[in-house]
Chains A and B, each alone.
Chain A
Amino acid sequence: MSTHAVGATHHAPPEGFIWKYIFSKDHKVIGIQYLLLALFSVFVGMGLSVYMRIHLAWPGMKVPLFGGDFTPEKYLMLMTMHGTIMVFMVLTTAPQAGFGNYFLPIQIGAADMAFPTLNMLSFWTTFLSLMVLLAAFFVEGGAPISGWTAYSPLSALGSITGPGQGLGQTLWIFSIAIFSAASLMGAINFITTTIDLRARGLTMMRLPLTVWAWFVTAILSLLAFGVLLAAGILLLLDRVAGTSFFIPGGLIVSGVLQTKHTGGSPLLWQHLFWFFGHPEVYIAILPGMGVASHVLATFSRKPVFGYRAMVYAICGIGFLGFMVWGHHMFLSGMSPYTGFAFSMMTMAIGVPSAIKTFNWLGTLWGGQIRFTCAMLFAIGFVSLFVSGGLSGLFLAQPAVDLQLHNTYFVVAHFHLIMGVAAIFGMFTGTYYWFSKMFGRSMNETLGKWHFWITFPGVYFIFMPMHFLGLVGDPRRYADMTAVEFLKPLQPVHNFITYAVFVTVAGQLIFLFNFIWSLRAGKKVTDMNPWRATTLEWTIPSPPPFDNFAGHEPVVYRGPYEYSVPGHTEDFVPQHLDPAQVGKI
């Protein structure tokens, strides 16, 4: 293996448990910390959704919840916290800060992130944010009820607008503000590392698509989270300092005229929020695209079809992602001309998305496909991305969106594309990299059980929601049986809830497999069990403290050289000296 001697590691190996595993500056430990935070959060978020589904299926059933009956407000609390925990603490942390932290430096041949201390700070700030968010459950009035989008004036006026809108909503805003700061620190680290710390020979067009995805995602974070932070501060001032940024004058809430506030704009909040919120969707999904591309190539034993087109598509999606926030606001009464512009830009995202999809299929085409668990989930990712993306084309049209926006159609759309597809990206990464991270393999048989329960499961959950939406079932309703025209839909809701039970059971298999494999999984002796090309497979599992043991690898070629004619093995690693190609 050709490496290049450098004397530098960024910092000395830490001593003692606390510095090694708690306040570690090692990007690998921090990556795992993020993954564990996300794993905890995803089960909390999933638990909340199970509660909601039970209530939707059997609204009359007395389910104990925070002492007292299951009121519609409590349903909204569950919904708000489910959305917030899933979007911020799972979809934003695991794919980017988790896997990205662990593998970006290794894949570019660096000993660590550019700013290890900042990296540690970023994780613990995120942790604080999660704690503040969860605290909202335990304060007077409980968690907020205004959804993960916290639309004003519901979110801005305090406890007069409902339980949870007092201290609970304030904690929510603090949590999101803290989270924004943490994400900005992470983004600075990711971008700097990618720009400045690449190994010799690793040009941008030789980067693995995973690194491209993390890089572009970090740019989106950098530009989006500052805006969310600003919006959060304005909202907080409206609540605690009596300002009127988002609260209109002459508002009557619960029969009381609000005299303190004058002339603010609720739409201003929506604009600021969605200017962050739409890029956030891509922050969640882009890393999944990167991992899926990576894994599809590895297990098809073929180069990624159209590598450059894939890179440009990632950049194109990131760029367009900043210009479409208005499509979340077609119902807000914006000018139809504005709506038209946002609609056109939104549909334009279909172009790079289709490039990616066809290139994934092109990668699979004619390949020697090995259906490992990672590969199954990567193919599942492509499927979910297409299914969820196609409904986006419906919703991108204002005339259709007006009809569907507040229905289950939107719930189905964003869960498939942003929620489940991104989660499939995480499963792909977990099954693919587990052995590298922990030195033991996950059980493939259990993993296949997990896949074959989860993949149909999520379709059984979310496909029927499209039909619910088309017939006008409104989202955010706690009890469909209370409305005459929705009563006939109840069997569909029951079906979805049963599908949820089965799918959740599948996730317990995953959790068991994960924990069991940590302790008793088969030890891996081979550094490169998947016969893959990128740099993480050239070092031991788990990697040593400074990744390359004081050496810096040299890269000679692109990341996906599979089935190279004339070479004895069917792959050529990135670091292999050209003189060796064809000889070993």
Chain B
Amino acid sequence: MPGATLTDELDVLHSGGTGGGTPGSAGGGGNAGGRRPSPRGAASRIYYTGISLALAAIVMFFMALVSAYIVRKGQGGDWRPINLPQIVWINTLVLVASSITLEASRRAYDRDDATSFRLLWGATTVLGLAFLAGQYIAWRQLAAAGVYIASNPSSSFFYLLTAAHAAHLVGGLAALLYVLTRGWAYLRRSSGIAASVTGVYWHFMDGLWVFLLLVLQMGR
């Protein structure tokens, strides 16, 4: 969702503000006391505000699921612990690695090193895809062992939480691909906002997965 809406609005950044002035320059009395950076500043700030809010909503969504998990486990009776497929641990390493390449990529951007940026950003995208493929394999392994979504509440939550996380990660992948397919000049012109906001989202999805995995492992 956040990735899909960047397209048009980024275009306005470079057609954007001329002469917003400095705070307090208007009105002889200096009575216009509000803080106000230049429109260009505001134009980029909205993306950071927007993504933070989106993440807050996503946290509420997952917290609702996790609290349902805790309550449902407390209902007792029919809860059968499932053994998480080993591959989820490898997947986790892959996802953490993608965060590292992403961070390295961001630094390459700061150094104005287009080649390294593209390489590392591409690596992040590939690692993200590999994570999703790995999660799919985990599902197949569970299904092969006869554990389906309706088997018992523990497995229901495993499928649900991994699927919900994967759905959010697909959005992140779309954003990664979006940045990857833009020209370097475009990214420099938009001050790297698309790359930066995508990075915030991706790191968050990484951390969220580690949290969910711990919940699934320890709460089995």
Contact = CB atoms under 8 A, between A and B. Distances in A.
Interface of A: 2, 4-8, 10-11, 25, 114-118, 121, 181, 184-185, 187-189, 191-193, 195-203, 206, 222-227, 229-231, 233-234, 237, 241-245, 249, 260, 262-265, 268, 271-272, 275, 552, 554-557, 577-579
B31 A557 contact: yes
Given A249-B77, A264-B153, A8 B18 contact: yes
A243 B32 contact: no
Interface string B25-64: 0111101111010010011011001100110111111111
B28 A184 contact: no
Contact of A556 (B31, B42, B64, B68): B31
B19 A272 contact: no
B32 A200 contact: yes
Nearest to A183: B57
B46 A191 contact: no
B197 to A, nearest CB: 12
B71 interface: yes
B81 interface: no
B72 A245 contact: yes
Return the 6 tightest CB-CB contacts between A and B, nearest first.
Answer: A201-B32, A242-B150, A230-B64, A226-B61, A226-B60, A7-B18
Given A260-B150, A275-B64, 13 more contacts: A4-B21, A117-B9, A191-B53, A192-B50, A192-B53, A200-B21, A201-B34, A226-B59, A233-B160, A234-B68, A237-B149, A245-B68, A262-B152
Contacts of B164: 233
Contact of A243 (B53, B61, B63, B153): B153
| Chain B interface helix/strand/loop/mixed | helix
Contacts of B45: 196
Contacts of B60: 222-224, 226-227
Given A554-B27, A556-B31, A556-B32, A196 B46 contact: yes
Contact count band on B: 35 or more
A203 B34 contact: yes
Given A192-B49, A243-B150, A555-B34, A577 B64 contact: no
A74 B119 CA distance: 62
A251 B177 CA distance: 49
A262 B53 contact: no
B8 A117 contact: yes
A487 to B, nearest CB: 43
B52 to A, nearest CB: 9
Given A6-B20, A226-B60, A244 B153 contact: yes
Given A195-B49, A230-B68, A115 B150 contact: no
A197 B37 CA distance: 10
Nearest to A557: B31
B53 A115 contact: no
Contact of B53 (A6, A187, A233, A249): A187
A170 to B, nearest CB: 17
A241 B149 contact: yes
Contact of B46 (A197, A231, A262, A275): A197
B5 A198 contact: no
Contacts of B42: 196-197
Nearest to A265: B75
